[in-house]
Structure 1
Amino acid sequence: MKAILYILMVLLSSVSFAQDESLFEQGNALYNDGKYAEAIDKYQAILDSGMHSSELYFNLGNANYKLNNVAPSVYFYEKALQLAPNDKDIKNNIAYARNMTIDAIEVIPEVGISKIVNNLTNVMTFDGWAITTVVLFILFVILFITYYFAEYTNRKRIAFTSSLVVLGLGFITLFFAFHDYNLANKDHPAIIFAQETQIKSEPNLSSQEVFKLHEGTKVQVLDTVNNWKKIKLTDGKTGWVSSADIKVL
């Protein structure tokens, strides 16, 4: 019975994949014909089926960019960049999309040790740091066993020294893995989707307006209270925005 269910699941997955591939090709054909709104409908149907990829988000960004849909184009390019952070085409196109936004927000540069640590952390993904850590600790165990059973003094010395070096490197990569994990947990980006929205000092309509933002601007979500989200800009400013005017990445 379990075997039959497994076979049925595989068959259904294959059919679903084939349908998504067909929709993706149809969307590409419509895009090439300049029918960008129709292409978006095809791509969106794939997302609605539960499938996603950097290529799909990239194409959605392109189609929305062609229609001058500022917020959706930035949003989908950002989604594509999350899945493929080193893709040059995505980085290039998202720069064009960001140029369509109205808000010019200063970015506070990182300095000192924090900048160095974060730059080193970004050398690899969390998975990369985690795998490297596991490999180093396994290598440490092998070297320590070699040291323990080695008969000659020189081999013992080399194995012991190497094991300590590898262990040290393992703790360093473990630190970067945890640091990357913590950075990811603190990273809650979102895109303003309202053409213009008021940012309030408190999570209610009667509170004072502190500034305005426009569609396509990227913010960080710090907190949520009822139908309001507390946001932070790259220049350090904070405020509350209606949840209806923002879309979390």
Structure 2
Amino acid sequence: MKNILYILLFFFGSLSAQNEKIFDQANTLYNEGKYAEALDRYEVVLNSDKHSAELYFNIANAHYKLNHIAPSVYYYEKALALKPKDKDILNNLAFANNMRIDAIANLPEVGLARFIKKATKSLSFDNWAKLTVALVVLFVLFYLLYYFTFGTGKKRFYFVTSTLSIIFACVALIFTFYNYSLAKKNNPAIVFSQESQVKSEPNVRSDGTFVLHEGTKVQVLDSVNNWNKIKLSDGKTGWIPESDIKMLNIF
């Protein structure tokens, strides 16, 4: 059994070292201005199921240098999903988006809905869940202190604190499920077709409603056969051939 474990460790260690070597070769080719050759080497690493923000970022940079609009936006978005606050990724994604033909405005969110969504996205689903558990633990702790304490002042303090803890725990739990709901509904994709006719219904005979071009980001709402129902950031919806887009959530 130990021999098998050692063999597996050696195999994965060798694979990792090989990927690092190929990644360095790709970076060297990129710095020499050989962007197509660099992409070939990056693809080798990617095909070995290695996923990292750095790899996606470098692939996007190479595509950007080659004026490949859709792939550059796609891989910057992939990198951003792994490092949401990285300034270099955000800046380069903005440059890539400027190459797109479609200029689509964002549908403004106002009032309470905007505040709740912003508050929900301030933490990840896992962190909201951890916060909920921590607040429940605090509630139990302060309630026990309240129950076994006899001093009036301390008893009042522990009662108020335990009550606030369970209230905040309930709020955190609501945010946890809402965050999970938003994540489940978030199904983004990038248009890869140079030009795609968006239809009113999922068939080629239906009327075209508008045209999208490569690099545009959409949300996939539904799928029927080889068609996907999409929604734009300005609220427009329609059906697009499945082959014209590439999903971002697939790693």
Alignment of 1:105-116 (within 5 A): 105-116=104-115
Report SS of the residue matched to 1:230.
strand
- Cα deviation for residue 210 of structure 1 reads 1.1
Q: Deviation per CA, 1:210-238, whole angstroms, max 9, x where unpaired? A: 11110000001011111111111111111
When the two structures are superposed, what TM-score results if normalisation uses the length of structure 2? 0.95
Aligned partner of residue 85 in structure 1, secondary structure? coil
Question: Structure 1: which 5+ residue stretches go unaligned?
Answer: none
Instruction: Give the match's secondary structure for 1:229.
Output: strand
What's the CA shift for 1:101? 0.3
In 2, Cα distance between equivalents of 1:22 and 1:143: 55
Q: 1:124 deviation in Å?
A: 1.3
1:115-148 superposed Cα distances (whole Å, 9 cap, x missing partner):
0001111211112211111111112111112222
Q: Which residue number in structure 2 is paired with residue 25 of structure 1?
A: 24
Aligned pairs for 1:193-204 within 5 A: 193-204=192-203
Q: Which amino acid aligns with 1:205?
A: V
Deviation at 1:62, TM superposition (A): 0.7
Q: Which residue of 2 aligns with 1:155?
A: 154
The one-letter amino acid paired with 1:241 is I
State how far apart, in whole Å, the 1-side matches of 2:193 and 2:199 are: 15
Q: Distance in 2 between the 1:151 and 1:6 partners?
A: 58
Q: 1: CA distance between counterparts of 2:3 and 2:128?
A: 40
CA distance in 1, matches of 2:223, 2:165: 44
User: Any idea what SS the aligned residue of 1:106 has?
Assistant: coil
The alignment covers a number of residue pairs equal to 248
> Match of 2:23, SS?
helix
State the partner residue of 2:167.
Answer: 168
Q: Report the equivalent of 2:239.
A: 240
Say what the alpha-carbon RMSD is for the aligned residues.
1.2
Distance in 2 (alpha carbons) for counterparts of 1:178 and 1:50: 31
TM-score, normalization by structure 1: 0.96
Q: CA deviation at 1:8?
A: 2.8
1:47 Cα offset (Å): 1.4
Q: Deviations over 1:39-97 (max 9, x none)?
A: 11111111111110111111111110000000000000000111111111111110000
Structure 2 CA distance for aligned equivalents of residues 187 and 46 of structure 1: 27
Q: Secondary structure at the match of 1:9?
A: helix
**Residue matched to 2:135:** 136
**Residue aligning to 2:66:** 67
Secondary structure, aligned partner of 1:204 = coil
TM superposition shift of 1:156: 1.9
Partner residue of 2:98?
99
Instruction: Find the aligned partners of 2:139 and 2:55 in 1 and give their Cα distance.
Output: 42
- Percent identity between matched residues is 53
